[in-house]
Amino acid sequence: MTRSVILLVTVFAFSAMLEGQVTYERLRNADREPGQWLTYSGDYASHRFSSLDEISRDNVARLRPAWIYQTQESGELETSPLVADGVMYLTEASGAVVALDVKTGRELWRWSRPLPNDLRTLGFPRTNRGLAILGETVYAGTLDAHLIALDAISGAVRWDRNVAENELGYAITAAPLAIDGKIIMGVSGGEAGIRGFLDAYDAATGERVWRFHTVPGPGEPGNETWGGDSWKTGGGATWLTGSYDPESNLLIWGTGNPAPDWNGDSRPGDNLYTCSVVALHADSGALAWFFQFTPHDVHDWDANQIPVLVEEVVQGERRKLVAMANRNAFYYLIDRTTGQFLRATPYAKQTWAKEIDETGRPVLLPDKAPTEEGTLVWPSLQGATNWFSPSYSPRTKLLYVAVREMGSYYFKAEAEYEPGEYFMGGGERALRDEAYGAIRALDIATGETRWEFKQLTPPWAGVLSTAGDLVFAGSEEGNFFALDATTGEPLWQFQTGGDVRANPIAFEIDGKQHIGVAAGRAIFVFGL
């Protein structure tokens, strides 16, 4: 068989895999296709839960690698792959996109683009957390702040849009979110004093449909919470994928810290809408409601954690909720239709707030702001949790969270804005010797901790729960492990040889359940 014939056969076979397009209806009903993993968090509600139950507490001890794919690039591998119709799509650390045959791990195509020599990635590692897919197109953001549309069958570029100026510190590390005809894209760069925003792009043409600034300009509600011109460099990055409620057509998205991080003198006020969750009308980007977790933050406690959408009885009434384990160490419940604060419960050690009052506003303890000499506060700037995903199991009614128990000395310094440079106003010294990690199971309705599985060091890996009543998570020491979802008892572990800094997924190969996760510089796929 000639090379050209082989190529044609390969393309034909690959095209056949994608015969069923990944339509918006499939994304909206992703829970009906547990054999796939079609969007970053598994579904629009961001449960990162799989209804597959073939791998269970009774047999997980027999789990073993099915295949391992070695990536070609160095750097932190934080990708959460997608699986659609026999193909796994993933990103490597620099943003290269790879399509693999999900049965074997064989590479089908690979796309990458050169990055500028003077690339700005201020305040975060050079990494990429994943993709979106819609129709026959795969979407990825890049470190130099472009949004790229790729043909899902060939990897060919369909369109390329410059989202923002990397020279000013804008970058993209988040996975886009695909909804009906639009691609939603957030940006990084809070430590460079960007003015954050969330964009929507036409999925077919790449034309921008709307932009919502997370820091309001003059004449807009919320601008009065900034002093002088501080709003121009106010931060509020949108650097992690949010959630979507199709019924209300609302995007639910977390926002980052204000800038400069640790010196708030130049930005008096609450600094809306930083450290908040915002609900935006998906058609227009108009603000429906917001809730701010940490007004006038001076500890770099972004609210870029995953907003988990659930329905539960709270205060005697069944409500549509946003549940978030926030970086500031409190677990929150917010009414999803109105933005009303309902409850906050500490889920990790914190020494900065006496309590959260009935309006949702923290009652601050004295002398916890950064100083020139240093102020000791829990949690550290990396937070009680961070970007890695929690998981909600509708079977146990528990939210599983990877928790970082660590304090820091926070230092304050002068901050002068220079375009494209750090704009932070201080620093921190973490108490690493006293730090540890844990997987905690929180009651979704109350936030109370039901069980805990301790880890040697604070984790950077997310959590997956399954209908097999298992919780999968990873460690900095390279262990990928499974816990009993009801008790936290360890049931299985595999040493990957590299730190686990990614979110697990579940899917099927030939009708058999498998678990996938990135670790070190490889993608591991496990099966029975």
Cα torsion at 247, 253, 143, 124 (round to 10°)?
A: -150
Tokens standing for residue 101: 């045959």
Distance CA 2, CA 211 (A): 50
Residue 237 contacts residue 196 (beta carbons within 8 Å): yes
The secondary structure of residue 230, as a DSSP letter, is G
Sorted by sequence, the CB contacts under 8 Å of residue 234 that are 6+ apart come out as 193, 195, 196, 215, 226, 258, 259, 267, 271, 274
185: three-class secondary structure by DSSP? strand
Neighbours of 229 (CB within 10 A): 12
The secondary structure of residue 201, as a DSSP letter, is E
Cβ neighbourhood burial of 151 (10 Å; 0-12, 13-18, 19+): middle
Residue 489 contacts residue 471 (beta carbons within 8 Å): no
Residue 233 contacts residue 259 (beta carbons within 8 Å): yes
Tokens standing for residue 190: 């809070």
Distance CA 503, CA 518 (A): 7
If residue 354 lies in a helix (H) or strand (E), which one and from where to where?
strand 353-356
Task: From the candidates 85, 261, 297, 300, give the one annotated as an active-site residue.
Answer: 300
Distance CA 101, CA 106 (A): 5
Asked about 300 being catalytic, the answer comes back as yes
DSSP string, 7-68: HHHHHHHHHHHT-S-B-HHHHHTGGG-TT-B-STTSSTT---EE---SS-TTTGGG-EEEEE
Distance CA 124, CA 240 (A): 12
Q: ω before 504 within 30° of 0 (cis)?
A: no
HSE value, Cβ hemisphere, 13 Å, CA-based, for 371: 8
Tokens standing for residue 457: 């060091």
Cβ neighbourhood burial of 405 (10 Å; 0-12, 13-18, 19+): buried
231: three-class secondary structure by DSSP? helix
End-to-end CA distance of the chain: 36
Q: How many residues does the chain have?
A: 528
Residues marked active site are found at: 300
